[in-house]
Amino acid sequence: MSEPKRNRPEIGMLLFPGLNFLDLIGPHTVLAHSANVHLIWKNFDLLTVDLGIAVKPTTSMENCPKDLDVLFVGGGPGLTDAMQDRAFLDFLADRGGRAKYVTSVCSGSMLLGAAGLLRGYKATSHWAFRDLLPLFGAVPVHQRVVIDRNRITGGGVTAGIDFGFTLLSILFGENLAKAIQLANEYDPHPPFDAGTPEKAGPQITQAVLAQMGPRLEKVRELARKMNIQ
C-alpha cells in the first residue's frame, strides 16, 4: 500500500541522524495508507536515527517533490546538529514556504522555528521545549496539537499519533480517521498517569529535565544567535 499513487497527497517527512523515530513512525503509520509519504534525507545512504535504528531514505532533498501537501519534521537528540545544518534548514524553508501544511511533532517545532517558519504563529512542542518557541517568534500554546492557519504542531513524541489522526481528518474527513483509529486499535490505556510535568510531579520532572538540560541550553544558545524572532 506504499507505492506512489496518483491523486494522493504528497507528504514529505524529514529524516536526520538522531531523529526520535517514534516522532515520525506514529504519524507515518496513521497517514501512509492514504498518502504518498517520502522519507527525505540529503542522499539515499543508510541513516542512523535515535536508539541505533538504521533506515534508508526513500528520496533525496534534490528528488523530493517541490510542492508538498504536507511537510513534516520530528525532533530528538539530533535536533541541535540539524539546527546547525544550513542545507537542512534551507530545505525546510523552501518546501515549507510552498507546502499546503507545515507540521511538526515534539522538538521538531524548534527546526521549523529555526527555518523561520513559525514567526507569528501559535505552536507547541515537547513540554520541555515549549517555552523556547518565542525565541523563534512563535507563540507557545499548552495543547497536545495546535493548529494555526496551515501550521499544525504536536507535543512530545507520542503526541505524534494524536497529531496524525488530526491531520488525517483534515485531509480525508472524520470517517477515514475513525476507521484508521480502529485499525490501529488506538484506545490508549497508559498503565501510569505521568505524561505531563503536572501529573508526574516535581521529582520525576526534575530528573527528566536534568537529562534534557544540555540539549535545551544548546537550543537556546543557537536560537539567540539566529536572531529570528
Binds a second copy (CB under 8 A): choice among 58, 80, 103, 109: 58
- Taking the CA atoms of residue 26, residue 117, residue 145 and residue 197 in that order, the dihedral angle to the nearest 10 degrees is 90
* Shortest distance, position 155 Cβ to a second copy, whole Å: 5
- Is residue 196 close enough to count as binding a second copy by CB under 8 A? yes
Among 61, 70, 123, 161, binds a second copy (CB under 8 A): 161
Q: Say if CB 27 and CB 159 are below 8 A apart.
A: no
CB of 207 to a second copy, least distance (A): 6
Instruction: Select 82 or 180, whichever has its Cβ closest to a second copy.
Output: 180
β-strands 101-104, 70-73 pairing: parallel
Touching a second copy, residues 94-153 (CB under 8 A):
106, 126-127, 144-145
Residue in the structure block whose three cell numbers are 507505492: 3
Is residue 28 within the footprint of a second copy (CB under 8 A)? yes
Active-site option among 19, 106, 177, 180: 106
Rg for the chain, CA atoms, rounded: 17
Active site residue 106: yes
Question: In terms of DSSP H, where are the helices of the chain?
Answer: 21-31, 79-83, 86-98, 108-114, 159-172, 174-183, 197-200, 202-226
Name which of 51, 49, 136, 128 is nearest 92 in CA terms.
Answer: 136
Q: According to the binding rule CB under 8 A, does residue 64 interact with a second copy?
A: no
Among 195, 218, 222, 228, binds a second copy (CB under 8 A): 195
81 binds a second copy (CB under 8 A): no
Q: Kindly report the CA angle at 214 between 76 and 224, in degrees rounded to 5?
A: 90
Q: Judged by CB, which is closer to a second copy: 135, or 180?
A: 180
Phi, psi of 19 (to 5 degrees): -65, 135
* Contact residues for a second copy, defined by CB under 8 A: 1-3, 20-22, 25-26, 28-29, 32-33, 37, 39, 46, 50-56, 58, 106, 126-127, 144-145, 155-159, 161-162, 165-166, 169, 174-175, 177-179, 181-192, 194-197, 199-200, 204-205, 207-208, 211-212
